[in-house]
Amino acid sequence: MSEPPWWKTSVVYQIYPRSFCDTNGDGVGDLAGIRRHLDHLEWLGVDAIWLSPFYRSPMADFGYDISDYCDVDPLFGTLADFDALVEDAHDRGIRIIVDWVPNHTSDQHPWFVESRSGRDNPRRDWYLWRDPAPGGGPPNNWVAAFTGGPAWTYDDATGQYYLHSFLPAQPDLNWANPEVVEAMHDVLRFWLDRGVDGFRVDVVHLIGKAPDLPDDPEEYLPIPHSGLNHRPETHELLRGLRRLLDSYPGDRMMVGEVYLLDTTMVATYYGSGDELHLAFNFPPLYTPWDAERWRSQIEIVSRELDPIGAWPTWVLSNHDNKRHRTRYGGSEARARAAAVLLLGLRGTPFLYAGEELGLEDAVVPDDRVVDPGGRDGCRAPIPWEPAPPHGWAGADPWLPWPPEPGTRNVVSEREDPASILHLYRRLLAARRRSPSLREGDLSLIDAPPGVLAWRRAHQSGDERVLIVNFSAERVTMPPSGLSGLVEVASDGSGEGALFTGEVGPDQALLIDPGATAS
């Protein structure tokens, strides 16, 4: 049996650098703070880390508006800091994935400054400029994310509009221009040559656009930038990116943010194994704490991805959405059960920093709101120690702390073997032990209402069974020959004992059916 590529069997840990750890006292996390806590990630057992943007940026969208793709913003450190982080992570067996934003730059990027300087500038066509509509106003009816207004801004100096799918400070690149394609390939080469293992590609489905930029259908208008997506032009661009990554050794990869709430469409971005290695599938992220809804999502993913040989991803929280503990009602029992759900499904799980601590979103008062998209709560800083400033360098952090930082912090939870932090560590260790959890098949098992159960099986003969009780009632699994040892329980109860058939409210179990009591 050949070894699968690392990105199929890994657990990826997302770090939002501003919020991870500040080492220089300015209240903003930095690369040195990430490097300082690599020991935590190694102890926890993650395989790779994904870094949200750290590039030079005016920070209109907190780093997703890039003014230099090939340098580190001084807020986060230097290129030398990045190189040291890569080296230290690799020494620990942890791979590095960096965010890459190909759809748009900052309006302060030198490319756009040149493009804006005149209609005859050689870089004019690097962005999407159009004359006003015949009766005046924007060239079409496209809507921008965040603002909800037109996706076009008029430039008085040159008498044309430029396209921005997001903020006006984020002009869209013109990927129909071969010079843009080559320049962006050079960006990837820059980071690949520095040793990065892969890229998380921001809103990658938007880079290909219809040449005539037609109006969106009326039903798309309430959904910003939805009409720009799912263009055939994107797929050839992705194949070019894939060829570039495949030319490097070491299974370099890209996972795409394909923000389409339709798994059938998401599946097309894998191509025939020649486009994205992985694609984020967002419907599960918006699925409530409900067994039948989750069963449906698992069935849809299997139906759409299995026939084309595509490998799924699973995400419960990230920097753009409320943390799952907050979404699921604030219950730690549910947060613990959700950990078993995330780490037990077939595919690559992405774990957002702080989920291992059971964090909830911060309550952000009006005078501290900074994000144009309303995402501050999930971006609250990570508490490392019980006492203020919680392991940060001393200044008040850029956002308020999440609830109860004095107890929900790394030091306190690491000292408590019953904490959710130790639950995550046990689950990650179980994945490393079990080929079925890392790469095995998944089949659903009959279960009582409110309960989701499935079996993972590997060709080596290794098996695991997972049960998640989404209900507030104790349930008994139907007699089906299911037996074995409870390897991990979300609340810690019964671990190492034979499974009795009972599952507690909001409890989740990982069972080794081949094990017997010693």
Catalytic residue positions?
A: 202, 257
Task: Please state, in angstroms and rounded to a whole number, the distance separating the CA atoms of residues 72 and 68.
Answer: 8
> 114: which 2 tokens?
């040149």
SS3 content of the chain, % helix, strand, coil (to 5): 30, 20, 50
Count of CA atoms in the C-beta half-sphere (13 A) of 500? 11
Task: Please state, in angstroms and rounded to a whole number, the distance separating the CA atoms of residues 6 and 10.
Answer: 6
Residue 234 host element (H or E): helix 232-246
The answer to whether 344 touches 378, Cβ cutoff 8 Å, is no
Is residue 413 packed enough to be buried (19+ CB in 10 Å), middle (13-18) or exposed (0-12)? buried
Cα–Cα distance list, 157 to 116, 135, 140 (Å): 8, 20, 21
> Rounded to the nearest 5°, which phi and psi values hold at 442?
-130, 130
CB count within 10 Å of CB 46 equals: 24
CB count within 10 Å of CB 446 equals: 9
> 237: which 2 tokens?
């661009």
> 430: which 2 tokens?
């179980």
Tell me 65's DSSP state: S
Nearest of 245, 279, 251 to residue 265 by alpha carbon: 279
> 498: which 2 tokens?
């034979």
Query: What angle, rounded to 10 degrees, do the helices at 420-433 and 332-344 form?
Result: 10
Tell me 46's DSSP state: -
Tell me 328's DSSP state: T
